[in-house]
């Protein structure tokens, strides 16, 4: 094939796979938003908290397969504590209030993680090499990292599982009811406490998965929090309430960001990756505020 087209394809595939990693972070947001109409700004902090704790446990001498359940248990605890200490006192408050409370939560989690485990950058070795798959390269001349592919598969499995949870199970129905209205759901006997606890625990586990993949890619460090902010444009484009939308939007953001960096970036001296996704999101907001798959909101006075 023509080397230029090959290069284009390589950038595109790299972008798409990076986009899946954004989707994984965004998935945590959607999960909580769908279940409680709380926009959890702390999702990025949870990613950082989860993976830093995981690495911290491994540094204490725990084996990989022992550290994993311990961290999952910790994230479940964090979810339960969040429900008890932050959300329960704020039931039926306005969305903006809840959003600001989660910004506070983000600071608490970031601070706690750094106090417990220190601030230095850690390496995380998952045993998955971040190098191109040679057999695939031999076959097609396109270099794709194994880690990226694993991330894609993990994201795909998680999304499928969560989509089934939301659409097919009784719990999922309860979650959607709670999202519509806290008060109405409570009045027909849906146990708000348990539902929220469960959702936050699940979001914590999703955060751990995202954090491990990101950590293996770029080191476990505070910058993960900012990477997680990139999930915001993904959400805007995908629509806040759609699980498949998150995946599609993640792909769009990842691909457009990498393509823009490679093909438009040089004209400006590079670095446009930092804001290109946000600008894309702003454009989307102008023309389609509810996102690709979001529900259209009707506002009444």
**Which residues in this chain contact other proteins in the complex, by CB under 8 A?**
39, 85-86, 89-90, 93, 95-97, 99-101, 103-112, 114-115, 118-119, 226, 229, 232-233, 235-236, 268-269, 271-272, 274-275, 278-279, 281-282, 285-286, 289, 299-301
Are 158 and 24 within 8 A, CB to CB? yes
Query: Which of 12/197 has CB closer to other proteins?
Result: 197
Q: What is the DSSP string of 131-181?
A: SB-HHHHHHHS---BHHHHHHHHHHHHHHHHHHHHHHHSHHHHHHHHHHH-
What is the Cα–Cα distance from 282 to 236, expressed in whole angstroms? Answer: 9
Cβ 86 to other proteins shortest distance, Å: 6
Cβ 70 to other proteins shortest distance, Å: 22
Query: Which of 183/301 has CB closer to other proteins?
Result: 301
Bridge partner residues of 119 (DSSP): none
The alpha-helical segments, DSSP class H, found in 39-94 are: 43-59, 64-82
What is the Cα–Cα distance from 54 to 207, expressed in whole angstroms? Answer: 12
Query: Which of 59/95 has CB closer to other proteins?
Result: 95
SS3 label, residue 269: coil
Cβ 165 to other proteins shortest distance, Å: 24
Query: Which of 183/298 has CB closer to other proteins?
Result: 298
Cβ 189 to other proteins shortest distance, Å: 26
Query: Which of 38/147 has CB closer to other proteins?
Result: 38
Cβ 300 to other proteins shortest distance, Å: 8
Bridge partner residues of 132 (DSSP): 145
């Amino acid at each position: 094939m023509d080397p230029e087209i090959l290069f284009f394809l390589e950038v595109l595939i790299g972008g798409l796979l990076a986009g899946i990693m954004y989707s994984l972070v965004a998935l945590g947001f959607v999960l909580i938003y769908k279940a409680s109409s709380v926009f959890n700004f702390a999702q990025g902090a949870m990613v950082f908290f989860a993976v830093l704790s995981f690495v911290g446990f491994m540094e204490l001498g725990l084996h990989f397969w022992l550290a994993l359940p311990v961290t999952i248990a910790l994230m479940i605890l964090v979810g339960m504590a969040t429900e008890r200490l932050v959300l329960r006192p704020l039931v039926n408050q306005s969305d903006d209030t809840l959003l600001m409370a989660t910004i506070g939560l983000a600071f608490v989690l970031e601070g706690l993680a750094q106090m417990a485990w220190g601030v230095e950058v850690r390496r995380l070795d998952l045993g998955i090499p971040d190098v191109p798959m040679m057999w695939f390269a031999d076959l097609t001349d396109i270099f794709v990292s194994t880690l990226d592919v694993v991330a894609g598969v993990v994201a795909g499995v998680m999304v499928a599982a969560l989509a089934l949870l939301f659409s097919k199970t009784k719990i999922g129905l309860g979650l959607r009811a709670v999202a519509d209205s806290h008060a109405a759901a409570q009045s027909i006997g849906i146990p708000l406490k348990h539902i929220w606890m469960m959702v936050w625990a699940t979001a914590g586990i999703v955060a751990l998965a995202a954090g491990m993949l990101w950590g293996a890619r770029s080191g476990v460090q505070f910058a993960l929090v900012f990477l997680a902010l990139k999930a915001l444009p993904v959400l805007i484009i995908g629509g806040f309430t759609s699980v498949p939308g998150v995946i599609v939007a993640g792909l769009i953001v990842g691909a457009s960001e990498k393509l823009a960096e490679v093909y438009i970036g040089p004209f400006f001296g590079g670095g446009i990756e930092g804001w290109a996704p946000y600008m894309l999101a702003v454009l989307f907001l102008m023309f389609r505020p509810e996102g690709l798959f979001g529900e259209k909101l009707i506002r009444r006075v």
